[in-house]
Amino acid sequence: MSKNRIIVIGGGYAGLRIVEKLAKNSQNKIILFDKNPYHFMQTDVYDLIANEEDFAQVTVDLFTFCSGFDDNVTFLKQEVGSVDFKNKKVITSLQRHEYDYLVIAVGSRTKFISSVKGLDTYAHGVKALHKAMFFKQKFEMSLFTKVQESGTSCTPINIVVAGAGLSGVEIAAQMASFSRDFYRKNNFICRKLNIVLINSREHVLPGLHKKLFDKTEKRLKKLGVIIKNQTKVSEVKQESVTLSSTEVLSMDFIIFAGGIEPNALVYKLHLDKNETGYISTNRYLQTQNYANVFAIGDCTTIYNKDKIVAPTADTAEQMAELCAKNIDNLINSKPLIEHNIKSRGILVALGRGYAVAKLFGFYFSGYPAYIIKKLVEKIYAKRLDTRSKKGCKKIFCD
């Protein structure tokens, strides 16, 4: 019996989940492509920056992960340059790979708004691991410099976070919480850290329930974060940020969390896309152009009852699970399943020992919500780690 040649592009939340599901069928021959040799757990990036976790705890090696299956999964560290949909071939700089079924799961990236002068030059994004690590190092060195100044001038560290969605509020809260505990624990005299959160909307966490954003704003203010609602960044210079209100803020760092856009590969693919550039898919998660090509995760936009489903790790994994079922149904000539994907909950980390959450209609805040978030993260990491350990033993023992 011939194998089902399946290619998955992207080793993010959606990509890894669909590999796990498809690998259960020994007749599936799966190739996973990613330009990086690791899976980056972006939901933990804020803990990484605030020294809650280290590099090893927020990454999974894709070579060992894929080796942990029964010899029907291969990982190739190659960047996909294009896809020949007519001839069913994925093209990299090294070779061409034929497929029967293709899953595009390349995710998204930080969108630096071109109309804001200096933004792409001086602002940091944290969706990519190397950028998160770069900012982490600069943040730590700034704290060290302030310690060196103790007893002398002690100038403040000024950090601007532009964007008050999930990413913006979590990183602002984590940095504020970490620095507060850092100064207190070591009894340093110099404790000046100014974090300003710039929000273009009326309140933080737009689109979420009032209970969540009220608790979040209260927590941020308690941590000393300054929130400027209904304000935008209009220009960024090396040491300052100008706001739409004409106010000028001194700045050591600016993190931009004000928007995302599709991964660069999406722009190169000859597929139908929506008005914001994301791949258009049908109710079965197939692309509009090809029945054997699927798009899942942050590179596409899905709707539930005419409302956009938030692009979270939970949503990505739900899409991956349904996509795997539909590929199996295509292989076996069975009817496809329409998606009914919706957010099962939201967990927002707001510093050490505190979070807000909505899970299955119930609201939590404080330490209980923090424990739930940590538990969800640890269960996810443990699942991948178990697979990687199996692959590691196979590589070094075979």
30 phi-psi bin (left φ>0, alpha ψ -120 to 50, beta other):
beta
265: pLDDT confidence band, cut at 50, 70 and 90?
very high
110: left (phi over 0), alpha (psi -120 to 50) or beta: beta
Query: What does the block give as tokens for 115?
Result: 């109309």
Continuous segment of H or E residues that includes residue 327? helix 313-331
pLDDT at 186: 65
Residue 369: the pLDDT is 93
Q: In what order do the strands lie in the sheet with 193-198?
A: 123-124, 253-256, 157-162, 193-198, 226-228
Query: Do the beta carbons of residue 265 and residue 9 sit within 8 Å?
Result: yes
Per-residue confidence (pLDDT) for residue 133, from 0 to 100: 85
Rounded to an integer, what is the distance from CA 29 to the centroid of its chain? Answer: 28
Burial track 225-247 (b if 16+ CB lie within 10 A, e otherwise): bebbeebbbbebeeebbbbeeee
Checking DSSP bridges between strand 157-162 and strand 193-198, what pairing results, if any?
parallel
- In angstroms, the CA 111 to CA 135 distance is 17
Report d(CA 266, CA 277) in Å as an integer: 8
Which of the four pLDDT bands, split at 50, 70 and 90, describes residue 390? very high
Confidence grade of residue 305 (pLDDT, cut at 50, 70, 90): confident
- pLDDT for position 344: 86
CATH fold of 120-259, please?
FAD/NAD(P)-binding domain (3.50.50)
Taking each helix axis from N to C end, the angle separating 313-331 and 13-22, rounded to the nearest 10 degrees, works out to 30
More confident residue, 45 or 97: 97
Average pLDDT for the chain: 90
For residue 357, which amino acid is it? Answer: A
CB atoms within 10 A of CB 390: 15
Kindly tell me if the per-residue pLDDT of 189 is higher than 60. Answer: no
| pTM as predicted | 0.92
Could you tell me which residues come within 8 angstroms of residue 87 by beta carbon, excluding any fewer than 6 positions away? none
Q: Across residues 94-112, what is the average pLDDT?
A: 94
* pLDDT value for 290: 97
What value does the mean pLDDT take over residues 242-264? Answer: 91
* Per-domain boundaries in the chain: 4-35+78-110+261-343, 120-259
Q: What is the mean pLDDT of residues 24-37?
A: 96
Identify the CA nearest to 80 among candidates 62, 58, 103. Answer: 103
pLDDT of residue 44: 81
Mean pLDDT of 339-357: 91
Pairing of strands 73-77, 28-34: parallel
> What is the pLDDT at residue 220?
95
Question: Is residue 4 scored above 60 in pLDDT?
Answer: yes
Dihedral sign for Cα atoms in the order 182, 187, 188, 191:
positive
Query: What is the pLDDT, as a whole number, of residue 190?
Result: 57
Q: Which residue has better confidence, 316 or 183?
A: 316
Asked which of 116-130, 328-342, 362-376 is least confident by mean pLDDT, the reply is: 116-130
Q: How far is CA 148 from the centre of its chain?
A: 35
Q: Do domains 4-35+78-110+261-343 and 120-259 have the same CATH topology?
A: yes
The mean pLDDT value for 259-267 works out to: 91
Taking domain 4-35+78-110+261-343, whether its CATH number is 3.40.1160.10 is answered by no
How many whole angstroms separate alpha carbon 314 and alpha carbon 341? 10
Query: Which residue from 64, 345, 354 is spatially nearest to 181, judged by alpha carbons?
Result: 354
Ramachandran sector of residue 311 (left: φ over 0; alpha: ψ -120 to 50; beta: rest): beta
Residue 301, number of CB atoms within 10 A of its CB: 19
